[in-house]
A and B are shown apart, each in its own frame.
Chain A
């Protein structure tokens, strides 16, 4: 079993940091079994390719723009996830979407895919989350834990 929880986002742009902050919190609050690899992906692209190959499950936590009120938390699973990326894949700039496309091209795509997305309130320059988005943390973590359970990975909260 190989699972990755990947937090992505730019930590200098206020709520864009939520994905990174969430995976940090996950590691602080939970005891994770060795098959779970937690990655702070920042705004990286192809550097992530190797860590994401041949996974049983990939859980991405990211700031998303879905036309919902700020601090809305959404979950998309498996086939629903690439819909996010459909028009974002281009030969001209690489990001997570392109890494997923490259995994597909190399036939090393994750068996299961989940995206936990958080609608931002503020994307100005700044290194603190807005209180509204910071308050979504328990919900975001609960969803990650639920997704892990979906592939039979049990995690325990640290004492």
Chain B
């Protein structure tokens, strides 16, 4: 007898991501991932000035503001074949990289660690033992016994008062929670410290982007930051020195806490290296451009087939045809209609956003997300895809941190854990931490490059765009914290004629495509264990390992208290 479990919403806000799983014999047999809200943001852009698109698209999502701004200006620049000053690349790179670090830290500690960490169990820990364990793993200054005791007392107070606050609604005491109390306490201590540290990443975005959470400094043609070596009102060397200080604080946390914690927690959940494999066709794009045109990149990207790194094929420039020609979107299982029929997929330049709602139909239409493919196949995108493709490209920092993380896991688990373990639910967390360390090094490098270039007397940050008569098409891609993001624009006589955003969570949370091949969430959920269908923590673990982000577009507050996770077991 199979049992149907519906989790809606998977994320905080009702009506955004719904996951249905059919459970048989304690395992997921079939899964459906459904976006529950119509976006149609693209339609707002039609007829507008392409120079304004970035400011509108960065409002699509609360978590990913900067990434849409970056992808949008890149798309318009690509259409115009507009080169931008190298300083503008460096400044954009710094913003992107700091944003990525912020995002990865917050995702691990504040959005997903509590799938694995039992806060209530942390109150039972011996703080001295927990601190000594932490000290044996890392040199981080926040691992003192006093600190551990202080945090434990605080948590005890919250538990005793019945007000767990931010920790409400966790699956405390669930049979799938496996960490010893001391490791739980270690994670909770770092959870609180991460709240403090994430602010430094945000400060960098704020200073360079002129404003946060929505940056103001991006422009088609470069950035609007006037650079100066001395003036007070602009981005000065003095301000950049403050940025460097924050970069260094992040460095300590990312390498001595985040990477270590993921390895330590991962080692206790070794069985989760065998769950959540799913789609092992991976796609990433190169990023952190080092020249004005976007032909050289500090972080490589490309495609891997069948989880085999030897199949790596690189994407090499902003004009890369292999990427631009390979992306299509299907709506056979999505609540849209294509004028040319729903059994074929469309390239984003020809993309259409015409809603056609039906009910949730298991074998028909069931999602507001379209289904993207790369040369006809669904892909997994995100930090795991990025780390594997960078590894395949021989990127030294990626190799270094991947090896370090796997060695640490192997030491703690007392068994050899290799790179194959990354194709899994827990592997996605490990890959995100590895990527964060790589990004951290890159942040330092980009800062050095900007200062060196300014030192040469080059203070240029903007090339004015010119919009010719006629039609131009362009794609802007960005390796965002959740994976490949691409914006596709068609410009006619200086106005937007068509605009499509293919976002990372669309790749991963996609419904079945035109050939009925499941999307990444759907494929990765098959085979997941479920100890208790009423509390499907294991499903959340796998979905959260992707860092789902289709929930942030709307957030109407609700006084009529609704449940966070409605579980329908039927």
Q: Contact residues of A with B, CB < 8 Å? A: 8-13, 16, 40-50, 62-67, 83-98, 101-102, 104-106, 117, 120, 123, 125-127
Which one of B115, B203, B214 contacts A50 once the chains associate, using CB atoms below 8 Å?
Answer: B203
Q: Bound state CA distance, A17 and B227, in angstroms? A: 33
Q: Bound state CA distance, A45 and B198, in angstroms? A: 12
Q: Main secondary structure on chain A at its contact with chain B?
A: mixed
Chain B residue nearest to A107 in the complex (CB): B154
B residues less than 8 Å from A120 (CB atoms) = 556
Asked whether, in the complex, the Cβ of A96 is within 8 Å of the Cβ of B555, the reply is: yes
Q: Bound state CA distance, A46 and B40, in angstroms? A: 26
Q: Could you list some 19 contacts between A and B, CB below 8 A?
A: A16-B554, A42-B65, A43-B61, A43-B552, A44-B62, A45-B62, A45-B552, A50-B202, A66-B560, A87-B563, A92-B112, A92-B564, A93-B12, A93-B551, A94-B110, A95-B552, A96-B557, A104-B165, A127-B56
Q: Bound state CA distance, A145 and B44, in angstroms? A: 33
Chain A residue nearest to B41 in the complex (CB): A12
Asked whether, in the complex, the Cβ of B62 is within 8 Å of the Cβ of A105, the reply is: no
Which one of A66, A86, A98 contacts B166 once the chains associate, using CB atoms below 8 Å?
Answer: A98
Given A44-B213, A49-B198: A87 touches B43 (CB 8 Å cut-off): no
Asked whether, in the complex, the Cβ of B111 is within 8 Å of the Cβ of A125, the reply is: no
B residues less than 8 Å from A84 (CB atoms) = 557-559
Chain A nearest CB, measured from B256 CB (Å) = 21
B residues less than 8 Å from A62 (CB atoms) = 557
List 7 tightest A-B contacts by C-beta distance, closest first. A43-B62, A93-B12, A44-B213, A101-B166, A91-B114, A93-B11, A87-B561
How many residue pairs, one in A and one in B, have C-beta atoms under 8 Å apart?
169
Q: Bound state CA distance, A62 and B192, in angstroms? A: 27
Inter-chain pairs besides A89-B166, A105-B158, 11 sampled, C-beta below 8 Å: A41-B213, A45-B552, A46-B102, A46-B110, A47-B102, A65-B557, A85-B557, A87-B564, A92-B111, A93-B13, A125-B41
Given A93-B111, A126-B44: A50 touches B557 (CB 8 Å cut-off): no
> Does B306 reach chain A (CB closer than 8 Å)?
no
Which has the most chain B C-beta neighbours within 10 Å: A85, A88, A91, A125? A91
Given A13-B553, A16-B556: A44 touches B195 (CB 8 Å cut-off): no
Q: Bound state CA distance, A101 and B114, in angstroms? A: 15
Asked whether, in the complex, the Cβ of A89 is within 8 Å of the Cβ of B557, the reply is: no
> Does B168 reach chain A (CB closer than 8 Å)?
yes
A residues less than 8 Å from B136 (CB atoms) = none
A residues less than 8 Å from B559 (CB atoms) = 64-67, 83-84
Which one of A42, A87, A117 contacts B214 once the chains associate, using CB atoms below 8 Å?
Answer: A42
A residues less than 8 Å from B203 (CB atoms) = 50
Q: Bound state CA distance, A121 and B276, in angstroms? A: 42
Chain B nearest CB, measured from A152 CB (Å) = 28
A residues less than 8 Å from B454 (CB atoms) = none
Interface of chain B residues 522 through 570 with chain A (CB within 8 A)? 540, 544, 551-565
B residues less than 8 Å from A98 (CB atoms) = 110, 166
Interface of chain B residues 162 through 200 with chain A (CB within 8 A)? 165-170, 192, 195-196, 198-199
Asked whether, in the complex, the Cβ of B62 is within 8 Å of the Cβ of A42, the reply is: yes
Q: Bound state CA distance, A48 and B65, in angstroms? A: 13
Which one of B11, B56, B165, B555 contacts A12 once the chains associate, using CB atoms below 8 Å?
Answer: B56
Chain B nearest CB, measured from A10 CB (Å) = 6
Asked whether, in the complex, the Cβ of A125 is within 8 Å of the Cβ of B12, the reply is: no
Q: Bound state CA distance, A105 and B553, in angstroms? A: 26
Given A12-B41, A12-B56, A105-B192: A95 touches B213 (CB 8 Å cut-off): no
B residues less than 8 Å from A41 (CB atoms) = 213
> Does B106 reach chain A (CB closer than 8 Å)?
yes
B residues less than 8 Å from A45 (CB atoms) = 62-63, 106, 552
Q: Bound state CA distance, A83 and B214, in angstroms? A: 28
Asked whether, in the complex, the Cβ of A93 is within 8 Å of the Cβ of B102, the reply is: no
Chain B residue nearest to A11 in the complex (CB): B59
> Does B39 reach chain A (CB closer than 8 Å)?
yes
Q: Bound state CA distance, A65 and B14, in angstroms? A: 13
Q: Bound state CA distance, A90 and B168, in angstroms? A: 6
Q: Bound state CA distance, A106 and B196, in angstroms? A: 9
Chain A residue nearest to B555 in the complex (CB): A95
Which one of A49, A90, A95, A102 contacts B564 once the chains associate, using CB atoms below 8 Å?
Answer: A90
Q: Bound state CA distance, A65 and B43, in angstroms? A: 26
Q: Bound state CA distance, A77 and B134, in angstroms? A: 42
Mask of B318-352 contacts with A, CB within 8 angstroms, 1/0 = 00000000000000000000000000000000000
Interface of chain B residues 196 through 233 with chain A (CB within 8 A)? 196, 198-199, 202-203, 205, 212-214
Asked whether, in the complex, the Cβ of B12 is within 8 Å of the Cβ of A102, the reply is: no
> Does B60 reach chain A (CB closer than 8 Å)?
yes
Asked whether, in the complex, the Cβ of A125 is within 8 Å of the Cβ of B44, the reply is: yes
Asked whether, in the complex, the Cβ of A47 is within 8 Å of the Cβ of B44, the reply is: no
Given A16-B556, A125-B39: A49 touches B44 (CB 8 Å cut-off): no
Q: Bound state CA distance, A125 and B95, in angstroms? A: 28
Q: Bound state CA distance, A133 and B214, in angstroms? A: 24
